[in-house]
Amino acid sequence: MDMDASTFSAWVAYMKATRGWSDKDCTERLGCGINQVARWRRTGAPHYIGLACASLALDIPAWTAQDTMNARTEKDAHGTQAV
């Protein structure tokens, strides 16, 4: 499901208010150009951008191969190795 224009605009406003980000900061962190952010404010953004926005808002770092290795070695509450 795509991120509608009002939700994307709200995300930009939230990042500005809580992080002090500018439009340029938003574009750099999303890996796009300033014109794209302006377009998404009018038309909405693709689903993957919504996921990236959530990750940035929640301070979730990018996935790495090390994360995959950690997931294979962690144990659950019962001491069973997670898969």
36, two tokens = 């794209």
| The model's pTM | 0.76
Say what percent of the chain tops pLDDT 90: 72
d(CA 45, CA 66): 30
50, two tokens = 């919504």
Q: Does domain 5-68 have CATH number 3.40.50?
A: no
User: Bridge partners of 75?
Assistant: 81
| Predicted confidence (pLDDT) per residue in 6-46, tens digit | 999 999 999 999 999 999 999 999 999 999 999 999 999 99
d(CA 62, CA 54): 12
All residues at 6 or more sequence positions from 42 whose CB lies less than 8 Å from its CB, including other chains: 5
Domain residue extents for the chain: 5-68
Angle formed at CA 13 by CA 9 and CA 15, multiple of 5 degrees: 115
